[in-house]
Amino acid sequence: MRRSGPIGALAACILAGALAACALAPASAPVIVAGQTAGAPSTVSGLRFIGEQRVLHQAQFRGTALGGFSGLDYDAARSLWVIATDDRCTRNPARFYDARLDFDAQGFRALRMRDVHFFLNHDGRDFAASGEGCGRVDVESIRIDPLDGSIWYASEGDRRAGLDPFIRHAARDGTWLSELALPEYFRVHRDEERGSRYNATFEGLAFAPGGASLWASLEWPLYADGPVPTPQHGAPVRMTEFGRDGQVLRQFAYPLDAIPAAPAPGKHAENGVSEILAMADGELLVLERAAVQGADGSHANYIRLYASDARAASDVKALPGLAGVPYTPARKRLVLDFSTLGLARVDNLEAMAWGPRLANGHATLLLASDNNYNQGQVSQFLLFEVLP
């Protein structure tokens, strides 16, 4: 969850006062070739922008507040998208939505919510009702399991409250199934600067092709890995490949960019990884999201998408810290600088997923923003054709 700036021109997909009708209306299926479903492309040379839809601030669906969209994925078996929020029960219990999108290669026409599900704890209750409480969960990514259609989701935890981040496996309706055992260096220590930083842990998840393993990305470096990015220098963040049993199979360092601009005096700026996806050739698609605060307190967003090649990178899983240690980081290649799209606004993009293929066989890519339930931000969904 990161802050962003003032609202721009609005192109809403869900109209205030007409949400229920919009959400429950029949949705047209995307135009796809028979037998083709969602799937990672072999590689990405570029993206072609198809269109944008937005959800209005304070929109409601079945008694829940829409916003804070921090994770999404495509459920090909049901032709539905799943969309997670990072609401810590300030409005409703932690949850995710089923949605349908109406689009083809010529345009992105609508996004319609279809259902809502609540993440459940070991006791079968949602996070508001459970003894674990809402501070335990800050959902930042969600993935459909390619083997059985269940879901996996990641939480950043809360360092200030001494709550560790986690990666959980759940049934398709949100029922708890299991939780991965994490290495000690991912844990939080509220009174010491070691382990994971506050609000900067598991921001991204991605299944490797075939589903035998799962990648997880940190937003910022661990304390032991060195300082966070500044306008003068970048920083390394760990990308970790977990087996389905929780075993750490591999880990490499991804080089974050320096922050693209300096903040106003006394103001804040940051850059971090907000989501990842795996490609069929083994590369990871990495979303970097920077926010730079101006003198008026508003934030300007700088969003860039990279392809990361870790074939020659060092395996750093055995290193308790990266600061001052020799290693070879992954290489990266710019796929898209979102400032080149010419949109009125690019907000706090945190969610990213492959979608169904178009009639020409090309994959689609959908991104969504977390508006932090802030009237000065927008909940936007951006759809692209993937150019092989």
Does pLDDT of 41 surpass 70?
Answer: yes
Q: Which of 247, 259, 213, 230 is nearest to 317 (CA)?
A: 247
Residues 227-272 have pLDDT tens digits of: 999 999 999 999 999 999 999 999 999 999 999 999 999 999 999 9
Q: Quick one: fold of 12-387? A: Tachylectin-2; Chain A (2.115.10)
pLDDT, mean over the chain = 89
Tokens 């969904």 locate to 381
For residues 353-370, give the mean pLDDT: 97
Does pLDDT of 24 surpass 50?
Answer: no
Does pLDDT of 320 surpass 80?
Answer: yes
For residues 152-162, give the mean pLDDT: 90
pTM of the model: 0.90
In terms of DSSP bridges, do strands 213-218 and 235-243 run parallel, antiparallel, or are they unpaired?
Answer: antiparallel
Does pLDDT of 5 surpass 60?
Answer: no
pLDDT in the model for residue 42: 87
Asked if residues 189 and 171 have their Cβ atoms less than 8 Å apart, the reply is no
pLDDT in the model for residue 169: 98
| pLDDT confidence tier of residue 25, bands split at 50, 70 and 90 | very low
pLDDT in the model for residue 1: 57
- Chain centre to alpha carbon of residue 219: 10
pLDDT in the model for residue 136: 73
pLDDT in the model for residue 95: 96
Residues 53-95 have pLDDT tens digits of: 999 999 999 999 999 999 999 999 999 999 999 998 889 999 9
Alpha helix stretches (DSSP H) within the chain: 19-24
- Chain centre to alpha carbon of residue 316: 24
Helix or strand holding residue 142 (H, E): strand 139-144
CB count within 10 Å of CB 321 equals 15
For residues 137-165, give the mean pLDDT: 93
